Amino acid sequence: MTHPHDLSGLTAIVTGSTQGIGRGIAEALAMAGANVTITAEDAQAVAATTADLVAAGHAVAGLPCDVTDDAALRALVDGTLARFGGLDILVCNAGITGTAGSWALDDFDRVMAINLRSIVALTGLARPHIAARGGGSMILMSSLSALRGNGAINAYALAKAGVAQLARNLAVQWGPDRIRVNALAPGLIGTPLSAPLLADEAFMARRLQMTPLRRVGTVADVAAACLFLASPASGFITGQQIAIDGGTSITDGS
């Protein structure tokens, strides 16, 4: 009997996959047997990550891509098809926070371009190829900030709320093609990007009081949830936003 998390013979693209959560997801999918395209804007980082995973025995390819460039997105999909022969799983993880507290329109436009528009474009490019394989899974990276008001990362929170709604819309539109589309909403996860928050004792005291599990999430926590959504184990789940936050979004802080 095949393990429900087995991805052998399937092919995935994971954007923003050279560090942090994206790299953890790429590694998890590769360990489950998937062919994985590693991609990010930094070509050197893509090459290094690809070399690391190849050395670990995984079937991966590296394709640098600026997700704000429609031609580069097309090349990413075409390159994956050329290398692996098809596409079954798309993980849209690339994103930026933007400038905290800013409503400057140039900052807003860049955040929206990377965090939301690029996902609209890439899912559209991937759809016919996933449908041609009889269906598959798209996982869009939202955020805990999409579930609550936020006074610091305004554009980011707005974009991530849009990502969650996009997942619902696409799940309805593309369900007949057997394409499942879901969103993940990580809370505070221990990565290099969150290091300043983790070092802030006052912030951490408040945050852990608001988190029923009383700990910070790990990259492995997010990667495991993504593997579940990518795999046959979640075959009847679509259009959902799943919070990976230790309960922060549901607690009253007591």
- Per residue in 22-66, pLDDT (tens digit) is 999 999 999 999 999 999 999 999 999 999 999 999 999 999 999
| Contact status, residue 197 vs residue 204, Cβ threshold 8 Å | yes
d(CA 179, CA 126): 11
d(CA 227, CA 33): 11
d(CA 3, CA 214): 32
Q: Would you call 59 a catalytic residue per the annotation?
A: no
CB atoms within 10 A of CB 174: 19
- According to DSSP, residue 174 is labeled H
pLDDT at 2 exceeding the cut of 80: no
Mean pLDDT of 136-161: 92
The domains of the chain are located at: 11-189+218-243
Q: Which amino acid is at 234?
A: S
Q: Please report the pLDDT score of residue 1 as a whole number.
A: 59
Tokens of 157: 């929170």
Tokens of 206: 């408040």
Q: Please report the pLDDT score of residue 4 as a whole number.
A: 81
Catalytic residue among 84, 108, 156, 174: 156
Mean pLDDT of 119-135: 98
- According to DSSP, residue 231 is labeled S
Domain 11-189+218-243: give its CATH code: 3.40.50.720
Q: Which contacts (CB < 8 Å, 24+ apart) does range 205-211 have? A: 207/248, 209/253, 210/248, 210/251, 210/253, 211/187, 211/245, 211/246, 211/247, 211/248, 211/251
Q: What is the pLDDT of residues 170-222, one digit of tens each?
A: 999 999 999 999 999 999 999 988 888 899 999 999 999 999 999 999 999 99
CB atoms within 10 A of CB 194: 14
d(CA 34, CA 44): 23
Residues 6+ apart with CB under 8 A from 6: 32, 33, 231, 232
| Contact status, residue 89 vs residue 41, Cβ threshold 8 Å | no
Give me the percent of the chain exceeding a pLDDT of 70.
100
